[in-house]
Structure 1
Amino acid sequence: MTTQTSRAWLLSAPALVLFAVLLLVPLLMTFMLSFNSFDFYGGIGTDLSLANYAEVLGDSYFYEIFGRTFLIALITTAICAAIGVPQAYILYRMSPFWRSITVLIVIGPLLISVVVRTLGWAILLGNKGVINTALMDIGLIERPIRMMYTSGGIVLALVHVMVPFMVLAVWAALQRQDPATEAAAESLGARPRTIFFRIILPQAIPGVLSGSLIVFSLSASAFATPAILGGRRVKVVSTTVYDEFLNTLNWPLGAAIAMLLLVAVLIVMLSWNSLVERRYGEVFE
């Protein structure tokens, strides 16, 4: 090992130790806990088996929860992409002064506590909330529209906070493109729509990929928003894990559900990454 390599490892050592202590060690402990047995009278046992995984994989109730979780994450990702790509392009074309102001506005939802932000959405979406009250006052509806404790309400609140991740990822990709390609297309008589779909969008694919991975993984593992806006009616994986740990006290089963969520998210992310990279390579051959 060369001196330069040794110096690099030494400089990285504090961050690697912190990463191992705060992430890898708890993750390993959760993985080991998922194999323990559990008895409602005796608590966590010392017997090791795959019974917890078999219970999750053999019960249609958990399939429904996982399906709902990934459907919410997928819809959130699609909406964020539809909103974020045009918004990132507009941000890319702005002057530096207005761009700095717009970036601050875009990342505004990330500067607010997730609990405060979600409670704000609860005030808006409730049966006696701002939206229903306003619609009833102007006579558009006669009875409140149920928006709380629905998957749609969860998606709406998740989109609100996930859009900045998509915008920033796509904007960073657009920053690396060559402006001469747009000028060349304009000189050849291409219309703005053609330039966007044939020149801008293909070069933004890396940003869409990275933004989609971030949004999907964060949406699939979100807890506070589904817990507050979904309540007991709309169960997702994160709230199910919470119930197993703190309500039924079945920690091994909760750990097994958490590990399956981690594995499922990793599989989806790796598959999506492989698929888009192949498509990306074909576009630029």
Structure 2
Amino acid sequence: MNHPLRFALNRMVAPRLSLADFVALAVTLKADAIEIRNDLKGIEIEDGTAPQTVRDLCAAQGIRVLSINALYPFDVWNDQRRAQALKLAAYARECGAEAVVLCPSNDRADQRNAAERAAGLRTALSALAPILREYGILGFVEPLGFEECSLRRKRQAVDAIKAVGGLDVFRLVHDTFHHHLAGEQEFFADLTGLVHISGVEDDAVPLASIRDGHRVLVGEADILGNAAQIERLLGDGYAWHLSFEPFANSVHELTDIQQAVSASMAYLQR
């Protein structure tokens, strides 16, 4: 990789920072974009921060808001999900976010069979498409590689998006963690709108037992093959952001998150 990579910061990088400090972190790291979340207590969006506040703060620093993460479980469509989708779409438009991340059901209690899950996915995509068009945003579909997830592989998402005529408003999230967990071999660089990157270094944990809490910044000891995945995506034409999304408390507790992310950026750039 001998050309600059485009990095972004998911709010999960430093959920304990204020939004202003988080934006400042992105600026310092020369990452020109962030993702905000609606699933972290005590910070935006959950704390009631007005969308205009997000817009003004980011615009003042020249920072793009790539997405709000996430509408969940987007593929279990009902009146409640529609109301949530409309609320998120409105917030996204008003705060300047370019997309809403769409996460599928990840519930061991989900009793739907494969056909029912596929039908639910198409129903949800069909219902979401006009909402996304109305609000002028994209929907980033993120398959999750966990065995219990209703949508594990990007191929399923691509087929459903094409089936409902949604190529104008839907893109994929390629998450390096979930790509590895799902054992997925296919890459869809041309349909990918965002890449989430995180590493796992504990090689003693069985693949089926790896969870979000194992996700750290990407470094030399990474067992997920982040560098190879990114190189493949870039080689296939992907030209957008690589967004850091570490869930591990060990990352959140770092006293110098700036140095840690900078080191990960340098490793990937090499």
Bin the TM-score by the shorter chain: under 0.3
Structure number with the higher helix fraction is 1
TM-score, normalised to structure 1's length? 0.23
TM-score, normalised to structure 2's length? 0.23
Greater C-alpha radius of gyration: 1
Structure with greater contact order relative to length (CA < 8 Å, sep ≥ 6): 1
